[in-house]
Amino acid sequence: MSQLLEGRTALILGIANKWSLAFAIAQAYRREGADLILTYLGDRQKETVEELGAELGASRFLPCDVTQEGDLERLAETLRAAGTTLDNVVHSIAFANREDLSRPFLETSRGGYLLAQEVSAYSLVAVARAAAPLMAKGGSILTLTYLGAVRVVQNYNVMGVAKAALEASVRYLANDLGPSNIRVNAISAGPIKTASARGIRDFNTVLNVVAERAPLRRNTEPAEVADAAVFLASNLGRGVTGNVLYVDAGFQVMGF
């Protein structure tokens, strides 16, 4: 039986450590035969990403700060110069100041609001613009979101608003890139213990509530998100674009 992503090249942005969802997705893509290109932010992260990439069998490691247009241009030019054609792009990048997550949304600072929007939402637009010319045969762009984009989740605050912008961006990008046969989707994962999630106050309470009330009566596993990402990246998901796919043990259907 052939692998679902055999012969495809995937650019993955946002691996921070082995607990990150981007790492789980990279594992699943590699399992299904994809060639992996990983990015890192600065020298401090380079060593970690290279170590994890060696474990994954990644072929290349490239620097990229998504808030810098020059970095994205250099990334695209490096790939173009190497004759690389991209089939899949994974955008797993988000950030908000800890102080803006720990106080009421009403008290969000202007700078904190703009920072969360730039890193967590606008970066998808910038990445898609840089990657699309390298996707000559079409392909899939995937990002990660959360239920806090459409419902108020205690202590998610400014990040929830940024994720709402991210989900809207998915829809508009899907429309713009559809004629090029590039699909754009998001996975809304249930709460998972990642490094970024630890920045949310009382996160363990969120995990406990989901495990108690979700239809499957448990939390989401990273591998479940990764397998859904494979579906969206492969021919199995060829008719799906502009969508938010919930992988959260069914929690989003519940009302309280």
Q: Which residues are catalytic?
A: 146, 156
Q: Give bridge partners of residue 11 from the DSSP assignment.
A: 37, 89
Q: In angstroms, rounded to a whole number, what is the distance separating the alpha carbons of residues 190 and 182?
A: 26
Q: In angstroms, rounded to a whole number, what is the distance separating the alpha carbons of residues 108 and 159?
A: 10
On whether the CB atoms of residues 168 and 176 are closer than 8 A, the answer is no
Concatenating the DSSP letter of every residue in 24-54 gives HHHHHHHHTT-EEEEEESHHHHHHHHHHHHH
* Helix residue ranges, H only, 57-187: 69-81, 98-101, 110-117, 123-131, 157-177
In the numeric block, which tokens belong to residue 52? 């994890």
Strand ordering across the sheet containing 9-13: 60-63, 35-40, 9-13, 88-91, 139-145, 182-189, 244-247
Q: Give bridge partners of residue 139 from the DSSP assignment.
A: 182
Q: Which residues fall within 8 angstroms of residue 47, CB to CB, at 6 or more apart?
A: none
